[in-house]
Structure 1
Amino acid sequence: MPYVNIRVTNEGVTSAQKLELIEGVTDLLTRVLSKDPATTFVIIDEVETDNWGLNRESITTRRRCPKAAV
């Protein structure tokens, strides 16, 4: 019984895109690991950009004023 958790920022992922992710992950597990789609769970969590950080900054801050790539 596979369980896959996908986390994305809450920046406009559509229902259609989420369904495509669910279908794609399920198909991948079926093809590669011979897992039963009926027992494959795919969970998509949408995370506030204030709650997602990278390199000492929240994504909210990074989106407002991106720094030059180093």
Structure 2
Amino acid sequence: MPVVTVQMWEGRTSEQKRKLMRALTEAMVEHAGARPEALHIVLQEIPKENWGSASTLGLADHRES
């Protein structure tokens, strides 16, 4: 059972997450030979204030476009 974990800043709509799930499933089927019914995808939405990079907080110093 393949498991794909995606960590990203929070703020996407349900429709965006649905499309991401669909695209990840299609990619895993095509490129990794996964069976859709056996694939698990975990989306972990993390608040910007809990995300750091290069010793700075995402909220304060990095803006997502």
TM range (shorter): 0.7 to 0.9
Alignment: residue pair count: 63
SS at match of 2:59: helix
In the TM superposition, 1:1-70 aligns within 5 A as 1-10=1-10, 12-63=11-62
User: Which 5+ residue runs of structure 2 have no aligned equivalent?
Assistant: none
Shift of 1:61: 1.1
Shift of 1:63: 4.6
User: Which 5+ residue runs of structure 1 have no aligned equivalent?
Assistant: 65-70
Identity of aligned residues (%): 25
Distance 1:3 1:18 in 2: 16
SS at match of 1:61: helix
Distance 2:34 2:8 in 1: 24
Q: Scaled by the length of structure 1, what TM-score is found?
A: 0.82
CA-to-partner distance for each residue in 1:22-60, whole Å, 9 max, x for gaps?
111111111112211001001111101111001111111
Distance 2:14 2:58 in 1: 22
Distance 1:13 1:49 in 2: 13
Q: Scaled by the length of structure 2, what TM-score is found?
A: 0.87
Greater Rg by CA = 1
